[in-house]
Amino acid sequence: MKNSNRHIVIITSYLNHPGGYERIVPSIANLFTEKNNKVTLLIIGNTAETFYPIHKNVTIILKPYHFGIADTGNMISRKIKMLSDIRGLKKILFQLSPDIVIGTEYHISICAQLTGIQKFSKLIAWEHTPIAQSKKNRFWNLLFKKYYPRFNAIVCLNKTEKHFFSQLAPTYIIHNFTDNHSGSFTTLQSKSILSIARLSPEKGIDLLLQTAKKVLPLHPTWKWKLIGTGPLKKMVTDFIDQENLNNHFILQKPNGSRLDDEYLNASLFVLSSRYESMSMVLLEAQSYGLPLISFNCPDGPAEIISHDENGLLVPAENSDALAQAVLSLIENPSKAKKISHQAIVNAAQFNSETVYAQWSSFFDKLLH
């Protein structure tokens, strides 16, 4: 089978919130469709609504399965629900009879395998969750160890994950992608620092606030904008009030699925995550020419940032080092400009054409 006209089923959970996973799954489905593949997006949940747009030719099927993952009922009832959901999934997959099935989370991928679809289709586990964040209970850990070696292939996002998964099954790195649809780049003139993240502990919001506290008083003409929602919203608003930063640190809710203007109107981009697989916001910021500053956390930022070239990497969870890195670019505009130019160059390896070529080559290898 050549480079198109494949039937690909992507099985995913909810896509109705802003986030990196919620962005890349529709983006991949759209990209595969634009390249003349037939794509079915099988959403496991209670809503087919997606925060990010879906191509009109992508077929969406919604099924309220949860494979016993939901924290309701006892162990026996959850296992009965799991078996019932697997039977339902089997019926759908056998009816569709696709060339390729892609599972986007470990429990989805395992349950897809338990349908027996590999008699007719190639089955891929597409990993998004950092290993440090991937916590499974004893039951799912046993299934993971038993069934992951049976996948036709595993696709992951960075070298650390490849080292881990390649001990189980054939494993390939295919990065996330993003395109700069505006065709414009930041001018670095705004005196504005941008961060985009879910307001949750793994995103290091506490560390971001401590960094801002060390930077903004030294450069009162600069502002820091944080775009995001989540459980730590009150912590952020309390911090702004306590530190009297109402005119300098701005918390903003995501407004729509496109953030072009936010990237174009910033001069620096800062990521404070405790762990990442492949940060979509780093890729997006880079595509607009923003100098990137990030913790060198496990495991994704180092796949995107080459230190002192297209950005700065500092020791993980060290807010002093993060603040010093931000200050170094505020106080050295020529260095920031040089890094900005390299960010634009580096972005080419993460655009849709480059990444689709990798997926297409991978599919050809898998199907022959």
Q: Which domains does the chain have, with CATH numbers?
A: 7-177+351-367 (3.40.50.2000), 192-350 (3.40.50.2000)
- Predicted local confidence at residue 193, as pLDDT: 98
The residues with which 155 forms a beta bridge, in sequence order, are: 126, 172
CB 98 within 8 A of CB 124: no
Summarised one tens digit per residue, pLDDT across range 176-197 is 999 998 889 999 999 999 999 9
pLDDT band with cut points at 50, 70 and 90 for residue 73 = low
Reply yes or no on whether the pLDDT at 76 is more than 90: no
**φ/ψ of residue 341, rounded to 5:** -60, -45
Summarised one tens digit per residue, pLDDT across range 134-173 is 666 788 889 999 999 999 999 999 999 999 999 999 999 9
Listed range (96-105, 150-159, 257-266, 323-332) with the worst mean pLDDT: 257-266
Reply yes or no on whether the pLDDT at 128 is more than 80: yes
Q: State mean pLDDT over 53-70.
A: 90
Alpha-carbon gap, residue 50 to 29, rounded angstroms: 12
Summarised one tens digit per residue, pLDDT across range 263-315 is 999 999 999 999 998 999 999 999 999 999 999 998 889 999 999 999 999 99
Reply yes or no on whether the pLDDT at 344 is more than 60: yes
Reply yes or no on whether the pLDDT at 1 is more than 50: no
| DSSP structural state of residue 276 | B
Alpha-carbon gap, residue 216 to 210, rounded angstroms: 10
Quote the distance between the C-alpha of residue 255 and its chain's center. 19
Q: How far is the CA of 32 from the CAs of 66, 106, 110, 122, 154, in angstroms? A: 26, 22, 23, 16, 18
Percent of the chain scoring above 90 in pLDDT: 83
C-alpha radius of gyration, the chain, whole number: 21
